[in-house]
Amino acid sequence: MPQEVRLLSLESQLLTTLVVKVAVAAVLATMLVRFGQFRRILLTEKRAWRERLTFAIAFGIPVMLGVASRLLLNYDAADLSVSGSFLAGLIAGPYAGAIVGCLVGLPALAAGEWIAILLTVGAGFAGGGLRELSPKEAIWHVTPLLVTALHRHSWKLFGRFRVDWQFTLLAAPIGLELLRQVLGARFTTVDHARLFYLHPPQAWLLVLVVLTTVLSVAVPIKIWNTARIEHRLQEQEKLLMTARLEALASQINPHFLFNTLTSISSLIRSRPETARMLIGKLSGLLRQLLRSQDHFVTLREELASIDQYLYIETVRFGPTLAVEKHIAPETLDQLVPSMLLQPLVENSIKHGLTRKVGGGRITISSERVDGHTVIQVVDDGLGMDTDAPGLGTPGGIGLRNVDERLRVIYGANYQLHLSSAPGEGTCARIEIPELAIPQPVSA
């Protein structure tokens, strides 16, 4: 025997349509917010006319296609004409709402539903009018959860005789849906449909139809507001990272200054002319550091600063301090955090060579390995115990700052690596991801 085919009842079909309609609104809002230009429009409250037009077209065309799919495919759940027009006006202003209303009303007008375009344009102007009257942040506070608290907000409105914008912004789509129900029942006949509307056979289904219209407005606002909050958090993280880097740099510069002044002070009585010359060199180096507000410089510029510092230290130590460089030419344009190498060189001199009898040698090298620039500062000094806390520098902040700056800028996988053996010397090694200033190409 053939099996009996059971069709959904009218109530079940209507419930399915309402659920899918809210899902369509959520999917559309999620898809649009993924586009950078659309997201930037949401982030600003004062928008130029071009941005409003972009928003209206980007949002209006998908909603218009939803109306067309209803007319061509009988897919009623895709029709977001009233809620979409109202939402566009609420977010981008009355003219953007009217443009969306015109776009979504054109397919309906072509099908003979001439009342639809009047209702959608009116809904766009209604949303835009509420935007002009209400506080802008109150719009972004509209969430689907407020639907369950309408009775509380209505008591606030009538109990204190004060405008509750949360209630007002949700009451507007309720009024628009009820108006569509009245107009649809008045002008729609069996032969001529002047306006599309979901006709609920029972009163409780009418409540769900109205609730669906409200959710079709509240759910996209919630999704877009979440994107706005995420963007603000990202901006705060960037500002926090910048402030942290500036704090680290402000620690390094005085650290460098005080230790260099200590070196110069040892020469004031014994070699005053040399001390005067070194002060001049130091002032030139500090002037260069103060002029530079960038957190990043090329390795070539960083090495130039190191040369000035080493000149000061070479004069102090005399011929007992030898400096060698083995710099790969392809690494000279690598961007590095400013004042990155100076603490490494200073550590080699202060903790490795100062107490060594007969002077010593510092070797600075760089090479390109697997997409990274590897920089090493090696000395043949007394060495130190790298297992001690603080990267082997008792009370020192220079190496700790280098290590923390690498972690902050490049992530936890990038850090300062120290290898040392007592009596043999120390090697400070860092790896930096490949990032260089693009060179102009000759014709």
The pLDDT assigned to 69 comes to: 93
- Nearest CA to 379 out of 339, 417, 415, 349 is that of 349
The pLDDT assigned to 375 comes to: 93
The pLDDT assigned to 317 comes to: 66
Domain ranges of the chain: 10-231, 266-433
Class of domain 266-433: alpha beta
Question: Beta-carbon neighbour count of residue 176 at 10 Å?
Answer: 24
- Nearest CA to 416 out of 390, 395, 380 is that of 390
Residue 432's DSSP bridge partners are 373
Q: Which token pair is 197?
A: 């509307």
The pLDDT assigned to 254 comes to: 65
**What tens digit of pLDDT does each residue of 300-338 get?**
988 888 887 787 777 766 667 788 899 999 999 888 887
Q: Which token pair is 114?
A: 């001439």
- Nearest CA to 139 out of 152, 123, 128 is that of 128
8-state DSSP, 355: T
- Ranges in the chain, pLDDT < 50: 1-6, 389-395, 437-443
Q: What is the pTM of this model?
A: 0.60
Half-sphere exposure in the Cβ direction for 210 (13 Å, CA): 19
